C-alpha cells in the first residue's frame, strides 16, 4: 500500500490520459505494418513515450536501460556501471563535447557527465521527456554540463562537426532507418570522433523461418514502440554504409551473472522484485484502477500498466529464447581525412 501515494504522484502530470485508448489501438493495429510505422514514426514514438514515461521512471529510475548484473549488485548500480563503461570507451573528459542521441529524461547524460566532466547535449523529440530532463538536471545541479534540446535525430539541428563524441542507448532502435540515423550522427561528429551505440537487435539465434521467433520479434516491437528490430549483422552493415569504421562490436559487453531480462520476469511472489512479480503486478493494476476512480491518476493508467506488463513478458520470452538482445554494443569511428 505504501507505493500507492508515490504512484499517484508520479502519474499526476502525465500527458497520456486522453490518448490512451486510441494509442494502444494504434500499436495493436500497426504491429505487423512496418511500412506504415516508418511513415508515422515521429507521431508513434511520441505517443508511445507520452504513454509510458511515467511508468518507466516509476519502475526503472531515470535511465531506461537494461544491464546484466552481478549477484549482490542492484539494477541501478549495474546500469550506471554500463553508462560509465561507455564514457571510458569513448575517452570522455572535461572539455569533451558529446551528443546524447535520444536522451530520454537524461539519466545516462547526468551519470556520464558526473563521472567524466564532459559537456553533454541531448536531443529528444518528446516534449514531456524534455521537461522531465530539465527538472532532473536542475535538481542535480548539472546545468553547466548537461542540456537537452528538442529535435528529430533523423535531421538534427546541429552543424557538421559539432561534437567530439556521441552515444545512443536504446534510442536508435526507434529510427525508421538505421543507416539514416547513423549517417546523421556521422555528419555532426568531428573527423576522428567516436560513436558508442547500444542497439536493440535480433541475435544470430533468430530464425526468420520459425513462426514462434517471428511472433516474439513482433511482440517485442509492438510492446516497445519500435518500427522493427534489425539483426546484429544489419546494424553493423548500416553503420558501415553510413561511413563509420566499426572498431568494436559485442553483445552484453558489460558482464554480469544475472541476465538483463530478469528484473522483468513475473515469477510468482518476490519481495526482492515485488513490482515485477505476479502478485505485484496484480496489486499495482488494482491500485491504478482505484486511483483512476477517485481521479488521483489519469484515466487509462491501468490500461497502460497492462500493456507494459505484456511488453515485459515479450522481452523475457525473447531474452530467454536467446533470439533478442537490448545490449548489442558497437563502437564506431568517423575516419579522419
User: Are residues 166 and 224 located together in one domain of the fold?
Assistant: yes
Segment 125-137, tens digit of pLDDT? 999 999 999 999 9
Q: What is the CATH number of the domain that holds 143?
A: 3.40.50.150
**At what angle are helices 41-60 and 127-140 packed, to 10 degrees?**
40
One domain for residues 234 and 195: yes
What's the predicted TM-score (pTM) here? 0.86
- Please count the CA atoms within 13 angstroms of the CA of 20 that sit on its side-chain side: 19
- In the chain, beta strands by DSSP E: 97-101, 119-124, 146-150, 163-169, 189-202, 245-251, 324-333
203, 325 in Cβ contact below 8 A?
A: yes
Give yes or no: residues 136 and 220 share one domain.
yes
| Helix 107-116 × helix 75-90 angle, to 10° | 60
Instruction: Classify residue 99: in a domain, yes or no.
Output: yes
Residue 300 pLDDT class (50, 70, 90 cuts):
low
Tally the domains of the chain: 2
Predicted pLDDT of residue 29: 52
Enclosing domain of residue 300: 3-59+258-319
Residue 332 lies in a domain: no
Residue 306: per-residue pLDDT: 73
Do 115 and 247 share a domain, yes or no?
Answer: yes
Judge if 157 and 45 occupy the same domain.
no
Does 82 lie in the same domain as 172?
Answer: yes
HEC secondary structure over 246-257: EEEEEECCCCCC
For the chain, give percent helix, strand, coil, nearest 5: 50, 15, 35
Neighbours of 91 (CB within 10 A): 12
Q: What is the pLDDT of residues 8-62, one digit of tens each?
A: 555 555 555 445 445 545 554 544 455 555 556 677 777 778 778 887 888 788 9
Is there a single domain that holds both residue 114 and residue 142?
yes
Residue 334 included in any domain: no
- 169 within some domain: yes
Same domain, yes or no, for 82 and 183? yes
Set of cell numbers at residue 282 = 496484480
Predicted confidence at residue 21, as pLDDT, reads: 46
Is residue 250 within 8 A of residue 260, CB to CB? The reply is no
| Mean pLDDT score across all residues of the chain | 85
Q: At what angle do helices 20-29 and 211-223 cross, to 10 degrees?
A: 150
Closest to 80 measured CA to CA, from 63, 57, 102, 59: 63
115 and 232, same domain (yes or no): yes
Residue with cell 514514426: 41
Please provide the DSSP assignment of 153-188 as one string: TTS-SS-TT-EEEEEEES-GGG-S-HHHHHHHHHHH
* Rounded alpha-carbon distances, angstroms, from residue 166 to 330, 334, 336: 12, 11, 16
Do residues 172 and 84 both lie within one domain? yes
Residue 112 lies in a domain: yes
Q: What is the pLDDT of residue 140?
A: 97
Domain edge (last residue) among 218, 238, 257: 257
pLDDT bucket at 282, cuts 50 / 70 / 90:
low
Are 177 and 212 contained in the same domain?
yes
Sheet holding 245-251, edge to edge: 146-150, 119-124, 97-101, 163-169, 189-202, 324-333, 245-251
pLDDT at 308 (0 to 100):
77
Q: How confident is the model at residue 206 (pLDDT cuts 50, 70, 90)?
A: very high
Residues 116 and 190 in one domain: yes
> Which residue, of 242, 257, 272, is where some domain finishes?
257
Amino acid at each position: 500500500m505504501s507505493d500507492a501515494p508515490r504512484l499517484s504522484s508520479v502519474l499526476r502530470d502525465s500527458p497520456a490520459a486522453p490518448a490512451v485508448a486510441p494509442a494502444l489501438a494504434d500499436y495493436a493495429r500497426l504491429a505487423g505494418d512496418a511500412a506504415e510505422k516508418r511513415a508515422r514514426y515521429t507521431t508513434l514514438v511520441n505517443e508511445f513515450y507520452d504513454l509510458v514515461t511515467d511508468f518507466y521512471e516509476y519502475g526503472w529510475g531515470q535511465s531506461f536501460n537494461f544491464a546484466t548484473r552481478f549477484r549482490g549488485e542492484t539494477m541501478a548500480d549495474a546500469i550506471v556501471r554500463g553508462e560509465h563503461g561507455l564514457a571510458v570507451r569513448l575517452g570522455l573528459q572535461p572539455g569533451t563535447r558529446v551528443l546524447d542521441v535520444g536522451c530520454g529524461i537524461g539519466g545516462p547524460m547526468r551519470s556520464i557527465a558526473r563521472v567524466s566532466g564532459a559537456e553533454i547535449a541531448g536531443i529528444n523529440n518528446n516534449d514531456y521527456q524534455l521537461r522531465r530532463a530539465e527538472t532532473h538536471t536542475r535538481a542535480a545541479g548539472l546545468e553547466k554540463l548537461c542540456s537537452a534540446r528538442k529535435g528529430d535525430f533523423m535531421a538534427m539541428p546541429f552543424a557538421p562537426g559539432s561534437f567530439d563524441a556521441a552515444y545512443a542507448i536504446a534510442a536508435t532502435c526507434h529510427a525508421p532507418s538505421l543507416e539514416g540515423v547513423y549517417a546523421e550522427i556521422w555528419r555532426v561528429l568531428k573527423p576522428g570522433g567516436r560513436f558508442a551505440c547500444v542497439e536493440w537487435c535480433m541475435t544470430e539465434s533468430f530464425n526468420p523461418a520459425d513462426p514462434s521467433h517471428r511472433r516474439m520479434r513482433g511482440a517485442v516491437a509492438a510492446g516497445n514502440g519500435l518500427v522493427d528490430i534489425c539483426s546484429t549483422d544489419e546494424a553493423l552493415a548500416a553503420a558501415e554504409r553510413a561511413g563509420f569504421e566499426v572498431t568494436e562490436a559485442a553483445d552484453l559487453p558489460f558482464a554480469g551473472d544475472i541476465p538483463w531480462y530478469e528484473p522483468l520476469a513475473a515469477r510468482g511472489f518476490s519481495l526482492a522484485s515485488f513490482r515485477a512479480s505476479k502478485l505485484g503486478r496484480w496489486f499495482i493494476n488494482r491500485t491504478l484502477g482505484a486511483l483512476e476512480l477517485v481521479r488521483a491518476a489519469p484515466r487509462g493508467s491501468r490500461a497502460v500498466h497492462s500493456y507494459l506488463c505484456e511488453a515485459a513478458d515479450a522481452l523475457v520470452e525473447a531474452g530467454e529464447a536467446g533470439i533478442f538482445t537490448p545490449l548489442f554494443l558497437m563502437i564506431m569511428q568517423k575516419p579522419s581525412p
